[in-house]
Amino acid sequence: MRPALSRLKLEDIRTTNEGMSRCLRLAAVASQSDVPVVLLGETGTGKTLLAHAIHNSSLRAGRAFVSFNASAMSDTLLESQLFGHERGAFTGAQQTVKGKFELAHGGTLFLDEISEMSSLAQVKILRALEYGEFERLGSERMLTCDVRIICAANCSLRERVAQGKFREDLFHRLNGLTLLIPPLRERVEELPALIAAELKASAAREAKSIVAIHPEAMARLLAHDWRGNLRELSHTVRTMVLLCDGEVILPENVLFSPDLAASSPSVARESAEVSPPNGTHAFDSQDLSLSSALSRHVQFVYGRTNRNQRLTAKLLGISRSTLARHLRALP
């Protein structure tokens, strides 16, 4: 079973996917120095997990790993959160409190959802990083900070700079190594192994003896688009383990989020109340177009045949040149 985040190392994350392997190789390089790292990936792809693994595999392992979610922070609390405050620094400051920079001293400061940071947060963080020192609110004493920075974002920071939403000077300060974590739908070939690992862990937690997944249930899992990535995978597998009565996961045990909403009376009632009579909002997060289903099916069969083009074309009943065209058009 995977170790807890506080002990997770890079070698605990395994993959057979090329994009993910590249990402892990870069992570290993990053772990051997203090170079700032930007982790770019969709929600649920494992940015937080990877940030911990880099820290635990670095020379700073055993020192503090401190997270700061910049998007969830109001500007009024920002400075005190980042740099701490002295007792009496403002109304309600009843005791001296250390900020994130001070807590992370000697270790790693993980700046999450960095692309959503307010401009004030960008200025404050840049200043602390440029000068390597800061003061607590209400104090004149300069404190030095020796922190390794790892950032996470779910969209390109370069684009945010181009849009005028992210400071270029901060971008250059943070942009040491950028690690692109591929979405799960681009890791189809390793879905069976990821599902098996989650199933084993989940069945052990629930003390259930589950020995197999019905082929139709597996086909549903493999054809899904996993917009919530590994987080969605983990929830889906946990639910199917809970729903499974025997030793084999059946197709009806595989429920994805919209199915779950429909099967829960309270959620179904809520959505009925806000839906227009012919509402489509329950499907808003899903791409239900035929071209997308076709592309998923081609990926699914191609993955199941271990990327054997001859066999894939035969199973799909199309020529190899038509298959090649579909493969080129894949996202």
Ligand X SMILES: Nc1ncnc2c1ncn2[C@@H]1O[C@H](COP(=O)(O)OP(=O)(O)OP(=O)(O)O)[C@@H](O)[C@H]1O
Task: Give the interface with Mg ion as residue ranges (CB under 5 A).
Answer: 47-48
Which listed option, ligand X, Mg ion, none, makes contact with residue 183 (CB within 5 to 8 Å by class)? none
Query: How near is the Cβ of 165 to Mg ion at its closest, in Å?
Result: 20
Residue 58 near residue 148, CB atoms below 8 Å:
yes
Stretch 271-310: interaction string toward ligand X, x if CB under 6 A: ----------------------------------------
Q: Which of 43, 156, 271, 286 binds ligand X (CB under 6 A)?
A: 43
Stretch that binds ligand X, among 92-100, 124-132, 183-191, 230-238 (CB under 6 A): 230-238
Which listed option, Mg ion, ligand X, none, makes contact with residue 175 (CB within 5 to 8 Å by class)? none
Q: Which is nearer to ligand X, 165 or 238 (CB)?
A: 238
Stretch that binds ligand X, among 37-45, 167-175, 306-314, 323-331 (CB under 6 A): 37-45
Q: Which of 67, 96, 154, 175 binds ligand X (CB under 6 A)?
A: 154
DSSP 120-173: HHHHHHHHHHHHSEEE-BT---EEE---EEEEEESS-HHHHHHTTSS-HHHHHH
What sign results for the dihedral spanned by CA atoms 285, 235, 181, 60? positive
Residue 226 near residue 185, CB atoms below 8 Å:
yes
191 Cβ partners below 8 Å, 6+ apart?
A: 184, 221, 222, 303
Residue 156 as a binder of ligand X (CB under 6 A): the answer is: no
Residue 137 near residue 95, CB atoms below 8 Å:
no
Residue 46 near residue 105, CB atoms below 8 Å:
no
Run of H or E residues at 265: helix 265-274
Residue 57 as a binder of ligand X (CB under 6 A): the answer is: no
Comparing C-alpha atoms, which of 210, 205, 262, 261 is closest to residue 234? 205
Stretch that binds ligand X, among 161-169, 213-221, 229-237, 284-292 (CB under 6 A): 229-237
Query: How near is the Cβ of 41 to Mg ion at its closest, in Å?
Result: 9
Q: Which of 46, 84, 99, 107 binds ligand X (CB under 6 A)?
A: 46
98 phi and psi, to 5 degrees? Answer: -80, 145
Residue 185 CA to residue 256 CA, distance in Å, equals 15
Applying CB under 6 A, what is the total number of residues that bind ligand X?
13
Q: Which is nearer to ligand X, 145 or 222 (CB)?
A: 222
Residue 125 CA to residue 113 CA, distance in Å, equals 14
Which listed option, Mg ion, ligand X, none, makes contact with residue 228 (CB within 5 to 8 Å by class)? none
Stretch 178-217: interaction string toward ligand X, x if CB under 6 A: ----------------------------------------
Residue 300 three-state SS: helix
Residue 49 as a binder of ligand X (CB under 6 A): the answer is: yes
Residue 84 as a binder of ligand X (CB under 6 A): the answer is: no
Tokens coding 306: 């271990």
Which listed option, ligand X, Mg ion, none, makes contact with residue 230 (CB within 5 to 8 Å by class)? ligand X
Residue 178 CA to residue 39 CA, distance in Å, equals 6
Q: Which residues bind ligand X (CB under 6 A)?
A: 13, 41, 43-49, 154, 230-231, 234
